Amino acid sequence: MKKSKKRLFIVDGYAVLYRSHYALIRNPLVTSYGFQTSALFGFSNQLLKIMKDENPDYLVCAFDSKEKTFRHEMYPQYKAQRPEMPQELKTQLPHLWEILEGMNIPVLKKPGVEADDIAAHLVKEKDRYDLEYIWLISSDRDWDLLIEKNVSRFSYVTRKEVTLENWSEHYDVTPEEFISLKCLTGDKGDNVPGIPG
């Protein structure tokens, strides 16, 4: 990255892919030879919309790795309830990597690291690259832990942006208290128990 005040968009890769898959689950897009393409179609459309509407200086897609993370070492039941990726979605993955390569969009993933960890690293390093602003493209509210000055999250589900400036419209606690709130409530989606009651 050149040091010239640029805007970085970080896309939560698997979240967008799953959302695209399930959005068309009742009427999936299928080729003449029976191959489902719903997730690829929705994912590509989302990226094209970002590029058209926002004209980002940098656009990357962050993905979870299939390997276990340090969170599994801390809590073996982490994400234990999550079902395996549907086969019709799994078969689309090789084509997803080809599409991203063809669009010249970097894929960021590392064994034992999740997409939000990658996003957190880039947020922490934004001054090093002289980035003016970072947009986190995700419907995962966990990513709100990363919001700070010049960093916001845009949900493609609600079509709303969460920033420091409009934080109180979304939460009854401060950004600093949000960390404690997450610790107390846990995370059902990740099978992390909260404090009872």
Angle between helices 93-102 and 38-54 (to 10 degrees): 20
Burial zone of 41 (CB within 10 Å; 0-12 exposed, 13-18 middle, 19+ buried): middle
Residue 4: pLDDT band (50, 70, 90) is: low
Q: Are strands 107-108 and 160-162 parallel, antiparallel or unpaired?
A: unpaired
Q: List residues bridging with 36 in a β-sheet.
A: 30
What pLDDT does 2 receive? 47
Quote the CA–CA distance of 146 and 148 in Å, as a whole number: 6
Q: List residues bridging with 187 in a β-sheet.
A: 192
pLDDT over 70, % of the chain: 98
Tokens of 57: 């200086």
DSSP 96-133: HHHHHHHTT--EE--TT--HHHHHHHHHHTTTTTTEEE
Judge whether 135 and 150 are in contact, CB under 8 Å: no
Instruction: Give the least confident one: 2-16, 40-54, 111-125.
Output: 2-16
Tokens of 192: 């992390």
For residue 86, is it left (φ>0), alpha (ψ between -120 and 50) or beta?
Answer: beta
Asked if pLDDT for residue 116 goes beyond 90, the answer is yes
What pLDDT does 81 receive? 87
Asked if pLDDT for residue 1 goes beyond 60, the answer is no
DSSP class of residue 85 equals P
Q: Tens of pLDDT along 66-109?
A: 888 988 888 899 898 889 999 999 999 999 999 999 999 999 99
Rounded to two decimals, the pTM is 0.92
